[in-house]
Structure 1
């Protein structure tokens, strides 16, 4: 079986506006926003009484998308925004950037903090993990050489 493509990755957030601002600063574009609710939504996500706001973010090339979701109801369990990089579950998303130091500087006012260090990996990439809003870990990669 061959998958046609990966459509998007969904990330649940508490502060949709802060998450959108962070990813816009990173270079993603808001493709669309909407609020969803109703029996069909309840059945899809396996919850009752769902009402959620969503923002679809896309990379400038149009090939990558993140769906940011804020549930108005029902209330969900709290997550661990300080979970380490090796905790089970979806742990990070990676974006290739042209100037990693510039991107880091632009993301800091949006709450981004280095998880470890900015490191040159062999002769191929400069890499780092940053923790953004809601504890989301974003890996940044600048191709070198």
Structure 2
């Protein structure tokens, strides 16, 4: 079971300010979207010579934003690893004691994913994902 680094997720106080900062270093907006019922906006930035992207996440709800950022302007949230089969990866990691934040597979477009519980994955939240899903927006 091999993984590919897909992206690094960062919770930010301002999508616009963080995007502008990263664009100064040559990063370009690849795609944007979000999860409206969670008041969550997201943008993916990348550069032409790299396959890894940076996901910027902004929470519209000030209470959630404060909980996630604690007054900071940005904070690393997760590291996303792509697998051929996310269900297989989850099963292998479960045998090693790694737990996910929920039992329900999240689906956004063609992406299927789980997030690990940091206390079971060496203090880091990993997003385990694959791109085998149907075009759906159930997350």
TM-score by length of 1: 0.44
Give the structure-2-normalised TM-score: 0.45
